[in-house]
Amino acid sequence: MKLLLAALLSLTLVVAKAEETIQTDPFDLTNLESKVEELGIVNKAEVDALEIQARNLFNANDCQAAIPVLAEYARKSNWLANMIAASLDPYYGASYDDRKDYPYSKLSKLVPLETMANEYKAKRNIARAMEAECHMRTGNNEKAIPLLLNTLDLLAIDNETWWKRTRENLLSIIGVE
């Protein structure tokens, strides 16, 4: 039995190592090109304008109009956050020693970019929660549930307002108090 377990463990490690060594083609831009084709080249001003439009529709309880705007706002906030975060990839992709040796004077200039990327991810999460709530208001719980579950998976622990609201929305649909 121990021999069988050892063999299984060895096989698992070999498979894991093989998966680890699979490299992606650095010249394959297919995923990025399709993202640009789908969402365009978004910019901060565009996403900020979508946020105002989405919040106004949501706050006016115009869920029919708000749902597509919230969905677009969430996707474009995410895309903007990912592009901002990508500008930091050389730092995060560097070895521990290289990051440790990177001058603080240069690193401190990158912090606002990381903060901004995280802010747009947080905005994405709130937009998803709002979209789910709109689906609930229009009686479409089948669309609300996946959004609520996804949002709860993405929300930061310190966003207590939207965590509570999203949690309560989910629990109300499934009849848990």
Inter-residue contact 130 to 165 (CB < 8 Å):
no
Helical pair 63-86 and 44-59, crossing angle rounded to 10 deg: 150
Give the per-residue pLDDT at 7: 43
Question: Count of domains in the chain?
Answer: 1
Residue 108 domain-assigned? yes
Do 143 and 135 meet the contact criterion of CB atoms below 8 Å apart? yes
Is 3 a member of any domain? no
Q: Identify whether 154 is part of a domain.
A: yes
130 has pLDDT over 90: yes
pLDDT confidence tier of residue 1, bands split at 50, 70 and 90? low
Task: Tell me if 62 is assigned to some domain.
Answer: yes
> pLDDT, tens digit, for every residue of 78-109?
999 999 999 999 999 999 999 999 999 999 99
pTM over cut 0.85: no
The whole-number pLDDT of residue 102 equals 93
Q: Is residue 141 part of a domain?
A: yes
Cβ(146)–Cβ(154) below 8 Å: no
Domain that holds residue 123: 29-173
> Which amino acid appears at position 161 of this protein?
T
Does the residue 123 lie in any domain? yes
pLDDT at 23: 65
Average pLDDT over residues 71-76: 98
pLDDT digits (tens, 9 = 90+) for 143-169: 999 999 999 999 999 999 999 999 999
Token pair of 72 as six digits: 């677009």
pLDDT value at residue 22? 60
Residue 20 or residue 119, greater confidence: 119
For the segment 4-53, what is each residue's pLDDT rounded down to a tens digit? 444 444 444 444 444 455 667 888 888 888 888 888 899 999 999 999 99
Does 22 map to a domain? Answer: no
Model confidence at 61, in pLDDT bands (50, 70, 90)?
very high
Average pLDDT over residues 125-153: 98
What local confidence, expressed as pLDDT, does residue 71 receive? 98
- The mean pLDDT value for 118-126 works out to 97
pLDDT of residue 4: 43
- Asked if the structure places residue 20 within a domain, the reply is no
Identify the pLDDT of residue 9: 40
